[in-house]
Structure 1
Amino acid sequence: MSAANQLYIVTGASRGLGAALAQALLAPGNRLVCVARSPAPALQQAAAAAGVALDWHCQDLSQPEAGARWLQAVLEAVDTPPASATLVLNAGVIEPIVPVAGLRADTLVPHLMTNLATPMTMTAAFLAASERFGCPRKVLAISSGAARRPIEGWSAYCAGKAGLDMFMRSIHAEYAQAPAGREVRAVALAPGVIDTGMQSTIRGADFAQVQRFRDLKAQEQLASPDDVAHRIAAYLQRPDFGSTELDDIRNH
């Protein structure tokens, strides 16, 4: 596999914000590696029409070891070092939405594997395998306001996203002294409330604040995935990317 100037790896790219973000990154000079549980023919067709290299992979991202092995193999196959490499950790799940007393291992563990453990192991593989490129690297984790304030019934999601926030801060601390041109910048970015399938699941759930989310939909106050994706794509290009470890796209 050869690399174009800018390498982007996007997880959970088959639908919702991930699909919109992959679409927004279909620009000359970019090469995309996208991974999800299912294929996305329309995105692959759009990449071909735009003349942008896109490699699509189907992978179960609830399996941390398999996810890390996959990413390591992908990066080891890059034969021309890119000018920069970016890992976008977008894949995530919202369920189980239950009271704390209702948490069960059979649903909690896969949730935390997908939302926290796999992003951690994939980031480790990304940083280790891309070191040989000798280029600047970025890690962007799609976080949530739920990482920074509790929502009743969302204890699994809140805890996993809060863990991802702290993981980004840990990366930032470990690589703070990296030399110029080989720096690693990491950000946990909350994207706001977006009109995706996840929001549909939330509106159909039973928890204390559910009416607020139903009202946002009814009042057409949900952000468009395409709009948010283009703002995130621009955010990735900011020269000060990484200066704010925990950020919110609505601040920009």
Structure 2
Amino acid sequence: MSEANHLYIITGASRGLGAALTNALLVPGNRLICVARSRNTELERIATLSGVPVAWHLQDLAQAGPAATWLASVLDTLDLPPTSATLILNAGVVEPIGPVAALQEKSLVPHLLTNLAAPMTMTAAFLERTEKFGCPRKVLAISSGAARRPIEGWSAYCAGKAGLDMFMRSVNAEYAQAEAPRTVRAVALAPGVIDTGMQATIRNADLAQVQRFRELKANQQLASAEETAGRIVAYLHRPDFGSTELDDLRNY
């Protein structure tokens, strides 16, 4: 029997939850493709010591077309067909934060390209280019409670994440009849409130609910990125992954 070769593609892999997910997936039998706008040399060192094959790529995910083209080219050049393939859509931005009346194209469009358009085009490239591998495929989009309830000052973030939720549902609807082994399961997972740089940005914003986020930090009620990443990896391995297409990690 050939050795397992589970492929994981992680966006936003250099910081916060993405870096923690990368670290959590550095186990034998996995192969990682990590993409971000910046490098994390310490994480790269840890990955090298782990012995797990990791390919690091710098890519601006606010460019939806180039992001998809990049992913397609990477998948086309894989030297070994994977046992399974998983796309983790983690990269995202929270700004612009502010009232609806203050929204402007120059900040709104890059936000929606990063949080919605690029995940859509990358998912398309992922599904098209992995079809030939004849293996099970998963798409995990890191969503938010903001996708499912409005938050004052977060209209862009709420709308983009809500769109991502619906896109995951659309993927499931389209691939519901896919026959084994070429199955496709997609989930939009809200991970809870995590102690990352994004939370620091929120705490410094002019936001009606900002005090609640400051109190979460002060009262040590934020989950660590490492703990959350471990729980997400366990979630990915659940035999019923995909049965709940819009899910919340806090339910488990």
CA distance in 1, matches of 2:4, 2:96: 40
For the pair 1:26 / 2:26, whether they are aligned, the reply is yes
Match of residue 97 from structure 1: 97
Match of residue 73 from structure 2: 73
CA deviation map 1:200-229 (0-9, x unaligned): 000000111111000100100000000000
Match of residue 150 from structure 1: 150
Equivalent position amino acid for 1:141 in 2: A
CA distance in 2, matches of 1:74, 1:238: 27
For the pair 1:140 / 2:140, whether they are aligned, the reply is yes
CA distance in 2, matches of 1:127, 1:142: 18
How far did residue 69 of structure 1 move?
Answer: 0.4
For the pair 1:58 / 2:53, whether they are aligned, the reply is no
User: 3-state SS of the aligned residue for 1:10?
Assistant: strand
CA deviation map 1:41-78 (0-9, x unaligned): 11111111111000000000000000000000000001
User: 3-state SS of the aligned residue for 1:94?
Assistant: coil
TM-score of the two chains, using structure 2 as the length reference: 0.98
Equivalent position amino acid for 1:136 in 2: P
* Contact 1:10–1:34 (CA under 8 A) maintained in structure 2: yes
CA distance in 2, matches of 1:43, 1:79: 24
Match of residue 125 from structure 1: 125
Q: Runs of at least 4 residues of structure 1 off by over 3 A?
A: none
Equivalent position amino acid for 1:50 in 2: S
CA distance in 2, matches of 1:180, 1:192: 32
* Contact 1:143–1:188 (CA under 8 A) maintained in structure 2: yes
Q: Percent identity?
A: 73
Equivalent position amino acid for 2:18 in 1: G
Equivalent position amino acid for 2:96 in 1: P
Match of residue 110 from structure 1: 110
How far did residue 4 of structure 1 move?
Answer: 6.2
CA distance in 1, matches of 2:33, 2:52: 11
CA distance in 2, matches of 1:106, 1:250: 35
CA distance in 2, matches of 1:101, 1:50: 49
* Contact 1:141–1:189 (CA under 8 A) maintained in structure 2: yes
Match of residue 11 from structure 1: 11
* Contact 1:10–1:88 (CA under 8 A) maintained in structure 2: yes
Q: RMSD across aligned C-alpha pairs, in angstroms?
A: 0.9
CA distance in 1, matches of 2:128, 2:180: 18
CA distance in 2, matches of 1:43, 1:185: 29
For the pair 1:195 / 2:198, whether they are aligned, the reply is no
How far did residue 31 of structure 1 move?
Answer: 0.3
* Contact 1:4–1:31 (CA under 8 A) maintained in structure 2: no
Match of residue 231 from structure 1: 231
- Trace 1:148-187 onto structure 2 (pairs within 5 A): 148-187=148-187
CA distance in 1, matches of 2:156, 2:211: 20
CA distance in 2, matches of 1:69, 1:40: 23
